């Protein structure tokens, strides 16, 4: 009998995003998200430039709204792309 090729063990991961107790802006005690802070805003968008959902970004409601506004502001000022 021929031996079957062994498959690499693929684990199914249920939770993709680890939920944290506090959102990153709450932890940093940031009031409003700065639209000039491009490195931080880039982390909140996909490679295509879309804004991540609250579930993905892990932000609280208040900071997600603030992030959304900051990204839209940065896009208008051509600091960030609408579509990359
Ligand atoms: Zn927050």
pLDDT on residue 2: 66
Arch. (CATH architecture) of 34-76? Irregular (4.10)
pLDDT in tens, the chain (84 residues): 566 666 667 677 666 667 778 899 999 999 999 999 999 999 999 999 999 999 999 999 999 999 999 999 999 999 999 998
Separation in Å, CA 56 to CA 23, 49, 53, 76, 80: 11, 14, 5, 24, 20
**Ligand 1 ion: nearby residues, β-carbon < 5 Å:** 23, 25-26, 60, 63
pLDDT on residue 7: 67
Report the Cα 11 to chain-centroid distance in Å: 24
Count of CB atoms within 10 A of residue 62's CB? 13
Give domain limits for the chain: 34-76
Distance 27 CA to ligand 1 centre (A): 7
């Amino acid at each position: 009998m021929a031996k079957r090729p062994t498959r690499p063990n693929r684990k199914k991961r249920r939770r993709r995003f680890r939920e944290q107790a506090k959102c990153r802006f709450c932890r940093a005690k940031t009031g409003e998200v700065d639209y000039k802070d491009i490195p931080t805003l880039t982390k909140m968008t996909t490679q295509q430039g879309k804004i991540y959902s609250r579930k993905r970004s892990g932000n609280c409601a208040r900071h997600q709204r603030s992030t959304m506004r900051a990204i839209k502001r940065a896009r208008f000022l051509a600091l960030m792309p609408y579509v990359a």
